[in-house]
């Protein structure tokens, strides 16, 4: 008789919970920290942000492999096991309104919000799948897949126009950071790093300080993106792109550029061709 998924989880609950706890720190939490720090480089201008994005995408064809092994699969694992823990766990904050019990409840609610946030965040900026058919027929008609790596700041600024998306990212960033910071504190208890009440109190202060720091970093990046002049940023990005392609730092890839810029370049090339053609015709007639 085959073993049901519930039986499997129950039988291996100790190991699964330890792996879930560990994955929340490395690589999921570590990636989130790096991601927020990279985004915060936008505070130094579109050029600084574009430089960091170019370094990431210089991995070329290896980038999807790195993303799936170290980002997407760990996030999916952490999310699936997290949902299972929520369904099988029970908060007692209604009976005992202690801070720890409220943190228990908030940890689970922010986990749910984080899962939804990441799901739609990836769709909004990257479209989930990078095939031309999917982007043209599914993602882009719904206003998704807005981000272009080689026009990073300008496309991000355009994607955050209006009021809905900034509020969405504000709530998502705060939820993800709280879930991570509070999760590190919980992980320390789970792994026996801080057992005594005094040690837990000190660890709580450290985790809270780290959470405040990451919240400031994440929201600063959000506000920097919202206040970016897209047109001015695009001019900087295009110059950096052309220079990087010329030196071989990047491989020319139109799919990672803003379509508006590609269309503008095509029009400029057509105008140049027309000018050249008219000059040749004039020379021939003379």
- Above 50 in pLDDT, residue 269? no
pLDDT tens string 90-126: 555 554 456 678 888 899 999 999 999 999 999 999 9
Question: Who has greater pLDDT, 258 or 271?
Answer: 258
Residue 72 falls inside a structural domain: yes
DSSP 3-state percent helix, strand, coil across the chain (nearest 5): 80, 0, 20
- Average pLDDT over the chain, rounded to an integer: 88
Helix 164-190 / helix 13-23 crossing angle, nearest 10 deg: 130
Residue 136 falls inside a structural domain: yes
pTM of the model: 0.85
CA distance linking residue 179 with residue 156, whole number of Å: 25
Residue 44 falls inside a structural domain: yes
Burial of 188 (0-12, 13-18, 19+ CB in 10 A): buried
- Above 90 in pLDDT, residue 168? yes
Q: What is the mean pLDDT of residues 162-182?
A: 97
How far from chain centre, in Å, is Cα 83?
21
Q: Which domain holds residue 27?
A: 12-270
CA distance linking residue 45 with residue 50, whole number of Å: 9
Residue 282 falls inside a structural domain: no
Confidence label for 240 from pLDDT (cuts 50, 70 and 90): very high
Q: How many domains does the chain have?
A: 1
* Tokens 């799901």 found at: 119
Residue 7 falls inside a structural domain: no
Residue 2 falls inside a structural domain: no
pLDDT tens string 144-164: 999 999 999 999 999 999 999
Tell me, what's the pLDDT at 284? 58
Q: In this structure, what are the phi and psi dihedrals at residue 129, rounded to the nearest 5 degrees?
A: -115, 145
Residue 209 falls inside a structural domain: yes
Residue 280 falls inside a structural domain: no
Say which CATH number the domain at 173 has.
1.20.1300.10
CA distance linking residue 263 with residue 238, whole number of Å: 13
As a whole-number percent, the residues of the chain with pLDDT over 70 amount to 85
Confidence label for 260 from pLDDT (cuts 50, 70 and 90): low
Q: What is the mean pLDDT of residues 27-52?
A: 97
Q: Are 137 and 41 in contact (CB under 8 A)?
A: no
* Tokens 């027929």 found at: 137
């Amino acid at each position: 008789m085959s073993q049901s998924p519930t039986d499997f989880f129950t039988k291996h609950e100790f190991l699964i919970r330890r792996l879930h706890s560990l994955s929340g720190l490395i690589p999921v939490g570590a990636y989130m920290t790096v991601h927020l720090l990279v985004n915060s480089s936008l505070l130094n201008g579109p050029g600084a942000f574009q430089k960091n994005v170019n370094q990431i995408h210089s991995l070329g064809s290896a980038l999807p492999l790195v993303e799936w092994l170290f980002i997407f699969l760990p996030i999916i694992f952490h999310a699936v096991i997290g949902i299972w823990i929520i369904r099988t766990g029970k908060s007692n904050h209604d009976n005992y309104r202690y801070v720890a019990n409220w943190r228990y409840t908030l940890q689970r609610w922010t986990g749910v919000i984080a899962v939804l946030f990441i799901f739609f965040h990836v769709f909004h900026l990257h479209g989930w799948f990078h095939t031309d058919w999917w982007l043209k027929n599914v993602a882009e008609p719904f206003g998704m897949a807005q981000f272009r790596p080689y026009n990073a700041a300008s496309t991000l600024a355009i994607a955050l126009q209006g009021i809905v998306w900034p509020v969405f990212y504000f709530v998502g960033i705060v939820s993800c950071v709280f879930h991570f910071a509070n999760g590190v504190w919980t992980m320390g208890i789970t792994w026996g790093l801080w057992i005594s009440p005094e040690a837990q109190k000190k660890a709580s202060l450290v985790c809270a300080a780290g959470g405040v720091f990451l919240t400031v970093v994440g929201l600063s990046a959000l506000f920097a993106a919202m206040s970016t002049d897209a047109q001015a940023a695009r001019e900087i990005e295009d110059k950096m792109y052309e220079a990087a392609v010329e030196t071989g730092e990047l491989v020319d890839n139109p799919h990672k550029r803003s379509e508006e810029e590609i269309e503008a370049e095509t029009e400029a090339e057509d105008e140049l061709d027309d000018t050249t053609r008219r000059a040749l015709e004039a020379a021939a007639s003379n």
